[in-house]
């Protein structure tokens, strides 16, 4: 039986939504890898599978293009929220992820706002290999680390254009300090309300944007006393807004757009 999917993006950060509510969830690591292949599949940075849930409007499971799973994806969460709110003709829904229950709302401009949960700072839950102060890591450049359900390491630089992300990013990602690897951010502060962000994404990519990385970068800048509580995060593909009061959950707001919908053939599914 064919599998229907929706290809979407948030400022160029592309993802696929597969809705398995009221049906069997066929997703496996092998299928996620095949769908994520930009030459032989659909191609995406992340995949979100929508499932039934007793206490929320739906539950989301996330996959990377290499077939690994992750706990959260800000862009795909916004995309699923947009799809489900259009379906139910409502401006607010609740989604369950491994980060817990996330409230999603449509703003007056049509953007999607998501409560991304409370950021985590303890070395053991990011996780780091040894106990340390996560505001100032013992690495050249003194980056800051946090978790948004996935690990983030943020460098603050004077000139973003001078950073060779493709060379430096993989070295930091695979540093023994990060037993599960890490997303790596390079941030140039424009002013206290505006940053420019480029990303080396965990498992090897330079995306046009990332919702969770935008949250992690803004949170780490606020922790360092460099930014105000509401930050415009400008990525290669566009801009999102991140709000954090220093105590509670992080709120991510930005646009999403459906690119196309399609079907994965039954023959291909059987081959997988």
Q: Which domains does the chain have, with CATH numbers?
A: 3-112+256-271 (3.10.310.10), 144-248 (3.10.310.10)
Percent of the chain with pLDDT over 70: 97
Average pLDDT over residues 15-22: 95
CA pseudo-torsion sign 193, 97, 67, 44: negative
Which conformational region is residue 212 in: left (phi greater than 0), alpha (psi within -120 to 50 degrees), or beta?
alpha
Which pLDDT score is estimated for 265? 76
89 sits in which H/E element: none
- The alpha carbon of 55 is separated from its chain's Cα centroid by a whole number of angstroms, namely 23
> What confidence tens digit (pLDDT) does each residue in 96-105 have?
999 899 999 9
Average pLDDT over residues 138-145: 97
Average pLDDT, the chain: 94
Rounded to 5°, angle at Cα 69 from 41 and 106 = 85
- The alpha carbon of 12 is separated from its chain's Cα centroid by a whole number of angstroms, namely 12
pTM over 0.95: no
Which pLDDT score is estimated for 205? 84
**Is 126 a residue whose pLDDT tops 60?**
yes
Which pLDDT score is estimated for 63? 94
> What confidence tens digit (pLDDT) does each residue in 246-264 have?
999 999 999 999 999 999 8
Per DSSP, which regions of the chain are E strands? 3-10, 13-19, 46-51, 58-64, 69-70, 92-97, 100-106, 112-115, 144-147, 151-156, 183-191, 194-200, 230-235, 238-243, 251-254, 257-264
Label residue 40 by pLDDT band (50, 70, 90): confident
Cα–Cα distance list, 175 to 27, 43, 104, 172, 179 (Å): 31, 28, 35, 5, 8
Which pLDDT score is estimated for 271? 58
Which pLDDT score is estimated for 221? 98
Which conformational region is residue 56 in: left (phi greater than 0), alpha (psi within -120 to 50 degrees), or beta?
beta
Residue 71: HSE in the Cβ half-sphere, 13 Å Cα cutoff: 15
**Is 272 a residue whose pLDDT tops 60?**
no
Which pLDDT score is estimated for 133? 97
CA-only gyration radius of the chain, Å: 18
Which pLDDT score is estimated for 264? 83
Which pLDDT score is estimated for 204? 79
Beta bridge partners of 49: 18, 61
Contacts 24+ apart (CB under 8 A), 140-145: 143/172, 144/220, 144/223, 144/224, 145/121, 145/182, 145/220
């Amino acid at each position: 039986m064919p599998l229907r999917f929706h290809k979407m993006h948030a400022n160029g950060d592309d993802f696929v939504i597969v809705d398995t509510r009221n049906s069997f969830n066929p997703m496996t690591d092998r299928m996620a890898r095949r769908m994520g292949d930009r030459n032989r599949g659909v191609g995406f940075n992340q995949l979100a599978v929508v499932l039934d849930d007793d206490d929320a409007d739906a539950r989301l499971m996330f996959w990377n293009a290499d077939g690994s799973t992750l706990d959260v994806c800000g862009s795909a969460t916004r995309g699923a929220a947009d799809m489900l709110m259009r379906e139910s003709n409502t401006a607010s829904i609740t989604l369950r992820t491994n980060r817990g229950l996330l409230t999603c709302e449509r703003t007056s401009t049509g953007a999607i706002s998501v409560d991304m949960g409370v950021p985590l700072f303890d070395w053991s839950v990011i996780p780091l290999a040894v106990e340390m102060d996560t505001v100032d890591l013992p690495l050249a450049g003194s980056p800051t680390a946090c978790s948004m359900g996935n690990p983030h390491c943020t460098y603050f630089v004077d000139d973003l254009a001078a950073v060779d992300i493709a060379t430096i990013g993989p070295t930091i990602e695979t540093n023994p300090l990060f037993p599960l690897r890490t997303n790596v951010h390079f941030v140039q502060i424009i002013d206290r309300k505006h940053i420019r962000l480029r990303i080396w994404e965990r498992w090897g990519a330079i995306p046009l944007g990332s919702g969770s990385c935008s949250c992690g970068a803004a949170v780490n800048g606020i922790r360092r006393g460099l930014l105000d509580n509401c930050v415009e995060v400008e990525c290669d593909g566009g801009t999102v807004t991140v709000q954090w009061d220093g105590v509670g959950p992080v709120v991510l707001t930005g646009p999403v757009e459906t690119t196309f919908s399609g079907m994965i053939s039954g023959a291909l599914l059987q081959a997988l």
